[in-house]
Amino acid sequence: MNFIQQAYKGKNEWYHYFATILIVFIGWQIIGVLPLFTTAVMYSSDMGEFMTAANTGFTSLGIDKNLFLFLMIITFVFGLVGLLLSVKFVHKRPVKTLITSRDKIDWKRFWFGFLLWGFIAGIVTLSDVFISPEDFISNFKPIPFFTLLLVAILFLPFQTSFEELLFRGYLMQGFGTWFKNRWLPLIITSVIFGLLHGANPEVEKLGYISMVFYIGTGLLFGITTLMDEGTELALGLHAANNIIAAILVTTDWTAFQTDALYIDTSEPSVGFEMFFPVLILYPVLLLIFSKKYGWTNWKDKLIGTIKKPNTGSEETFS
């Protein structure tokens, strides 16, 4: 069975999806934020300061940047736990089916995507520093930086895995079984993925044209998942992207405000660099993956139909 058909190994009534989304929301946005709220209260002098800081994401309270990043990641950890438990106990199917259609999770694919995009993103990011050094300030402080490096490497993959398994896994499969095709789940999950990033401060600074980048990135992850019949490559790409973003360059107007190596002091603007990944780098990545993994039949895998396997009752799946 292909990746979307993995959903048929479990229960797929509307109330199973409703229950899962509710559980994920409670874990992610209620239980998961308690450590952050508790810390924010400790840093606030009174409730007025707390409420004011809440409107800016608590960044004005002076919470250590690495601690703040860790607390933000914790929210996604609880969301991920809620998602995995729901797939197993609400939908009653193996967690592996959320990740891949292969017999086993292919970690070599994850590491290939991670290392390839980590190298490319790192080169592109640092090239900006060398091309326009006047726009960057060196920010290397050994203890904060290496703490950041540890937090980013050990914990950021939980955040990216939650997003990938929710959008390219759970929702892609769910929409696929509902609409009986591949292209609509690809479009819907990419747009939702982009819209959820609409609350990021960089969108406020740059305008909604920046959604081209987020929706385009969602399309990259979605196309990769559909063509490769699993999320391993997308998991690696997303993890590398966020780790590089966290440790190399930071600004005072993006979602990631960290103790990175450099601070970008340039005035935010919309230029070709925003569209460069979507128009140039992402197609190159897809070409590399297609050559390495022998992707064929693009039309059917991206816009083909989805049928329920004729294998008897749901309980016969393993």
Domain-wise residue ranges, the chain: 4-311
Sign for the pseudo-dihedral over CA of 224, 227, 228, 229? positive
Using a 10 angstrom Cβ sphere, with 0-12 exposed, 13-18 middle and 19 or more buried, the burial of residue 61 is buried
According to DSSP, the β-strands at 136-138 and 262-264 are antiparallel
Helix axes 211-228, 232-247, angle to 10 degrees: 150
CA 166-169-172 angle, 5° bins: 95
Q: What is the pLDDT along the chain (318 residues), one digit of tens a residue?
A: 899 999 999 999 999 999 999 999 999 999 999 998 888 888 776 666 656 655 566 666 678 899 999 999 999 999 999 999 999 999 999 999 999 999 999 999 999 999 999 999 999 999 999 999 999 999 999 999 999 999 999 999 999 999 999 999 999 999 999 999 999 999 999 999 999 887 777 777 777 888 899 999 999 999 999 999 999 999 999 999 999 999 999 988 777 789 999 999 988 777 778 889 999 999 999 999 999 999 999 999 999 999 998 765 443 333
Q: What is the pTM of this model?
A: 0.92
Amino acid at position 150, single letter: L
